[in-house]
Structure 1
Amino acid sequence: MAKLLHQLLSLAAVTVSCLAPAAAAAGFYEKFDVVGSRDHVRVVSDDGKTQQVALTLDRSSGSGFTSKDTYLFGEFSVQMKLVGGNSAGTVTSFYLSSGEGDGHDEIDIEFMGNLSGDPYVMNTNVWANGDGKKEHQFYLWYDPTADYHNYTINWNPKNIIFQVDDVPVRTFKKYNDLAYPQNKPMRLHATLWDGSYWATRHGDVKIDWSGAPFVVSYRGYSANACVNNNPAGGWSSSLCPEGTAAWINRELDGTGLRNVAWAERNYMSYNYCADGWRFPQGFPAECYRK
């Protein structure tokens, strides 16, 4: 995903509420950098508490935003209303990344656009020290274009929890002998971009530009996260806000694990741990762990 930022995006209306204590008094441009053409970004409202930003994707360019701060662990949430109608070829994302290097870390939530009437696909993925290919994909059980829904990434030293409307749908656990994102600070990114080469039916369906502009809305962004702007990383360099205890040691209880099982049983469309074609020499080691 980090390598795709330069390809961005489609007309997107974005509402961002910076609710974390450190962000409450900061304006949009103090907290975020623009990705793509500057003239494709329009700040609608910026009172220091609620930022509303319109992003545009056309044939010439796209746009997005990325946090100026980097984080080492945190709980990140945003409300999103996805592209309606024929959104084939578009990709809407909300993710964390340490950069584009071969050994980068990344935690992804991506929504692959669809042909009208087909279900949206939510892709979750984790990269650790450059090792990715750990996708779980789900058909959403509601229309994500009709209203806003909340999406959360909880990244802590024990596991990564993906949530939809506060319901856990996936957990990726840390094992001491396996790679896990834990040392490289990461920036937050939110984008809408042209992913025609892979997003819909494995790239068979491209963007129909006659339907442009495409619109996605972000709002209610919050980051209860430990800021770590030291390039060398390391937990000792992190500055953590009040409320850290609510997420820093969180693991799913019985109810949370049952919710994950419910999502997997009823809505999972792809599990890398069941893709023998992709892993003919055997599945990644974490697939055999409980």
Structure 2
Amino acid sequence: MARWSLALLSSSSLTVAVLALVQPASAQSWLDEFTTDGDVRSHYDPSGKQVASLVLDQNSGAGFNSTQKYLFGEFSVEMKLIPGNSAGTVTSFYLTSGEGDEHDEIDMEFMGNSSGAPTVLNTNVWASGDGKKEHQFYLWFDPSADFHKYTVIWNDKNIIFRVDDVTVRAFKRYADLPYPDAKPMAVHATLWDGSYWATEKGEVKIDWSRAPFVVSYRGYTANACVAVGSSSSCPAGRNEWMDRQLEDTDRLTVAWARRNCLQYNYCDDGWRFPQGFPGECSRE
């Protein structure tokens, strides 16, 4: 779903509005690694961390995407989501190879909620255009009250999704099934109007009287292999994430997340797969 987000930001041309305060001498601008669309505002918090805020109003959404593409790596960012009634909005942090029918993608999407309702984190994987592999979790904290860290670890063995260093899901590679392992992907972050699907399957729309809606990102890091032509350039020490698979602690937290937070699993949705579940469902 995130692959359509920038196309849905506005029916008119997007205006880039990057507003930066004075940068502390010791700070580094991670936002320089990205191009921006829409209303993206940058400042530095008291600790010296650069904060990039995406702004959504009735005219346009916003987003940024990396100027480099990667083939495997560990990608993290801290996010502070929309407070109060955010129904109909979608906030994302994801990787994608592009917009084509054969694209690869790894999604972390945050689906807006009515005030007081838990926020849903939608995780998904696409490989050569084959998607529909969602696990959706209720977050066990208020993601709008403070910044929380969200991480994707992607290697040739599995894709690991983490929230505040707690592993909630792993998508394992099987040799006979589609897996994103050949197409370099860029990193994206977006805030957009997803009223047609985001909240209670589209039943609850955005309340535009509450606009503008703001989501903030900070502390972005990418420890990853950068795609260079037909090859890639990998950093030293990459074995930390290139060989990363589930450890005993991860298995415990994945089991905990399934018991306490998982509210949708595509492998339980027989209506969606009348011809039979995807092959990995029987092997988890």
Q: Normalized against structure 2, the TM-score is what?
A: 0.89
Contact kept? 2:58, 2:211, Cα under 8 Å: no
1:61, 1:225 → 2: CA distance?
A: 31
Contact kept? 2:19, 2:41, Cα under 8 Å: no
Q: Give the one of 273, 281, 284 matched to 2:275.
A: 281
Contact kept? 2:29, 2:50, Cα under 8 Å: no
Contact kept? 2:160, 2:167, Cα under 8 Å: yes
Aligned to 1:57: 56
Equivalenced residues, count? 269
1:131 aligns with 2:130: yes
**Code of the aligned partner of 1:288:** S
Structure 1 residue 27 displacement after superposition: 6.2
1:222, 1:14 → 2: CA distance?
A: 22
Q: 1:69 to 1:207 in 2, by over 3 A?
A: same
Gaps spanning 5+ residues in structure 2: where? 11-17, 21-26
Structure 1 residue 229 displacement after superposition: 3.7
1:42, 1:83 → 2: CA distance?
A: 15
Structure 1 residue 216 displacement after superposition: 1.2
Q: Give the one of 21, 28, 32 matched to 2:31.
A: 28
Greater strand share, structure number? 2
- Paired residue secondary structure (1:145): coil
Aligned to 2:139: 140
Structure 1 residue 52 displacement after superposition: 3.2
1:263 aligns with 2:257: yes
Q: Normalized against structure 1, the TM-score is what?
A: 0.88
Aligned to 1:218: 217
Aligned to 2:240: 246
Query: Deviations along 1:39-62, whole A, 9 cap, x unmatched?
Result: x2333359xx95433332211112
Computed over aligned residues only, the root mean square deviation of the Cα atoms, in angstroms, reads 2.2
- Paired residue secondary structure (1:260): helix
1:83, 1:229 → 2: CA distance?
A: 37
Structure 1 residue 69 displacement after superposition: 0.1
**Aligned counterparts, 1:103-122, within 5 A:** 103-122=102-121
Q: 1:14 to 1:261 in 2, by over 3 A?
A: farther
**Code of the aligned partner of 2:34:** F
- Paired residue secondary structure (1:56): strand
Contact kept? 1:106, 1:128, Cα under 8 Å: yes
2:29, 2:247 → 1: CA distance?
A: 36
Q: 1:14 to 1:276 in 2, by over 3 A?
A: farther
